[in-house]
Amino acid sequence: MSLTRIPLKSNIKNYFVDFDDSDGFLGNLISIPNVIFVIDSNVWKFHRAGLLSVLPKDSVLVYEVSEACKSLDGLRPIYDEMIKQAAKKNAALVSIGGGILQDLTGFVASTLYRGIKWVFVPTTMLAQCDSCIGAKTSLNYQGFKNLLGTFYPPNEIYVNTRFLTTQEDDVFFSGVGELVKLHLIGGEEAVNKLLTEIPYIFKREESVLSNAIHRSLFIKKGYIEADEFDQGRRNILNFGHCFGHALESVTNFKISHGQAVILGMILANSVAVSRNLLSIENSLYIRRKILFPFLKINLDKIRFDSNNVVRAMENDKKRLGNDLALIMMKDNYEMIRVNDLKAMEVKAVLEGLNEIN
């Protein structure tokens, strides 16, 4: 039974997110003509005998997902499987997995025969609370994050929080990083609500997760509908990412995306404090009450080469000039973008990272 539907407007095609606490949505997917299911191997391992047992096995491609797969070469098995099918332009692809599989299958769906029907069932916290909407598909290239991509929304998205109960902690808390980011962007009311839910999020209580995910997507909806192709206001959604993507790159993605985003928000807030945009009191409150509870990285055991971080930030595709770009928070949770971040500012906050508590 569908709990809540979030409709989304797009210049490409309108679509929706359905929240479903049962397996009823799978019957809808099975009935799609000429459909191929591409499923993350971990999801298949945990759910093939349960939630996904109704899927026709001859229409299932099990795909082993990793960050290394998020490349042009990683697309080949999916293209090959789709091209084998007799149906061409009226073929349909259903992907069941996390954000990496979303990027891969979305890119395939947007480019195969110049666009085919695509349905996404996000199974990770990161994909459910953030990446499932927004229409972006992204691939890494030559070691840099998300340099290649298209805009192509799924026709339909189905969120079922039962998938989150089998996630490993590192994957789950990577997604929580994006959940926290969106609540901070959403402002004081959203943050205060999230604060009451922290213990239940750790316990993965499904009703709490569903409500928090719904709020996150509703916050994001306002930004992506106002600026679908990322020309202005939508840049705010990159809070934590300007540093975060760089930290992922310099560690060869050993730090998960959402955890890098949490570190990125801490660093961005440090810059905001140094520029007198954010009070030290508010920075400490956000860090200790909201960011640190979900940070699973031991800062005492990690060091970043500041020169490498600066070089990685110079490859940010949203960079406009000679300096670096950064999304920062002001007091009252107002977000702004600056394009004049200096390398020396980056190095200063990185040097202070291990003194943060």
pLDDT of 47 reads 96
In this prediction, what percent of the chain has a pLDDT beyond 70?
A: 97
Looking at the 3D structure of the chain, how many domains does it have? 2
What tokens were used for 104?
A: 């891969």
Which of 79, 126, 129, 75 shows the shortest CA–CA distance to 104? 75
Is the pLDDT at 1 greater than 60? The verdict is: no
Q: Which of 166, 185, 203 is the last residue of a domain?
A: 166
Which of 180, 299, 184 shows the shortest CA–CA distance to 247? 299
pLDDT of 356 reads 67
Q: Rounded to whole angstroms, how far apart are CA atoms 10 and 292?
A: 36
Pair (146, 207) in one structural domain: no
Pair (178, 66) in one structural domain: no
Q: Rounded to whole angstroms, how far apart are CA atoms 176 and 284?
A: 20
Which of 256, 259, 273, 260 shows the shortest CA–CA distance to 328? 273
Task: Give the least confident one: 2-16, 55-69, 149-163.
Answer: 2-16
Pair (149, 173) in one structural domain: no
283 phi and psi angles, rounded to 5 deg: -60, -45
Q: Which of 166, 188, 204 is the last residue of a domain?
A: 166
pLDDT of 354 reads 65
Confidence of residue 3 (pLDDT cuts 50, 70, 90): low
Which of 97, 108, 43, 41 shows the shortest CA–CA distance to 74? 108
Confidence of residue 16 (pLDDT cuts 50, 70, 90): very high
Confidence of residue 302 (pLDDT cuts 50, 70, 90): confident
- What separation, in Å, do the N-terminal and C-terminal C-alpha atoms of the chain show? 45
Query: For 69-86, what is the mean pLDDT?
Result: 93
Pair (283, 177) in one structural domain: yes
What tokens were used for 190?
A: 């959203």
- Averaged pLDDT score across all residues of the chain: 93
Pair (176, 305) in one structural domain: yes
pLDDT digits (tens, 9 = 90+) for 28-53: 999 999 999 999 999 999 999 999 99
Confidence of residue 341 (pLDDT cuts 50, 70, 90): very high
Which of 155, 163, 164, 162 shows the shortest CA–CA distance to 106? 155
Angle at 194 between CA 275 and CA 199, to 5 degrees: 120
Q: Rounded to whole angstroms, how far apart are CA atoms 5 and 15?
A: 10
pLDDT of 258 reads 95
Pair (282, 244) in one structural domain: yes
Q: 342-352: string of b/e by CB count within 10 Å (b at 16+)? A: ebebbeebbee
Pair (256, 243) in one structural domain: yes
Pair (157, 244) in one structural domain: no
**Which residues, including other chains, have CB under 8 Å from residue 294's CB and lie 6 or more apart?**
173, 176, 177, 180, 262
Is the pLDDT at 200 greater than 50? The verdict is: yes
Pair (115, 61) in one structural domain: yes
Is the pLDDT at 2 greater than 50? The verdict is: no
pLDDT digits (tens, 9 = 90+) for 236-267: 999 999 999 999 989 888 899 999 999 999 99
Q: Is 323 exposed, middle or buried (0-12, 13-18, 19+ CB in 10 A)?
A: middle
pTM: 0.91
pLDDT of 357 reads 56
Pair (242, 283) in one structural domain: yes
Which of 295, 300, 307 shows the shortest CA–CA distance to 256? 295
Pair (346, 317) in one structural domain: yes
In this prediction, what percent of the chain has a pLDDT beyond 90?
A: 83
pLDDT digits (tens, 9 = 90+) for 18-28: 998 888 899 99
What tokens were used for 198?
A: 């922290």
pLDDT of 353 reads 80
Is the pLDDT at 226 greater than 50? The verdict is: yes
pLDDT of 231 reads 84
Report the CATH number that the domain containing residue 198 is assigned in CATH.
1.20.1090.10
99 phi and psi angles, rounded to 5 deg: -65, -35
Query: For 304-310, what is the mean pLDDT?
Result: 92
Query: For 155-170, what is the mean pLDDT?
Result: 95
pLDDT of 335 reads 97
Report the CATH number that the domain containing residue 17 is assigned in CATH.
3.40.50.1970
Range of the domain at 200: 169-355
Pair (85, 15) in one structural domain: yes
Is the pLDDT at 301 greater than 90? The verdict is: no
Q: Which of 140, 166, 192 is the last residue of a domain?
A: 166
**Which residues, including other chains, have CB under 8 Å from residue 93's CB and lie 6 or more apart?**
35, 36, 38, 78, 82, 105, 108, 109, 116, 117, 118, 119
- Tell me, what amino acid is at 9? K
Task: Give the least confident one: 167-176, 193-202, 224-233, 331-340.
Answer: 224-233
Q: Which residue has the tokens 């609500």?
A: 193
Task: Give the least confident one: 156-170, 190-204, 213-227, 308-322.
Answer: 308-322
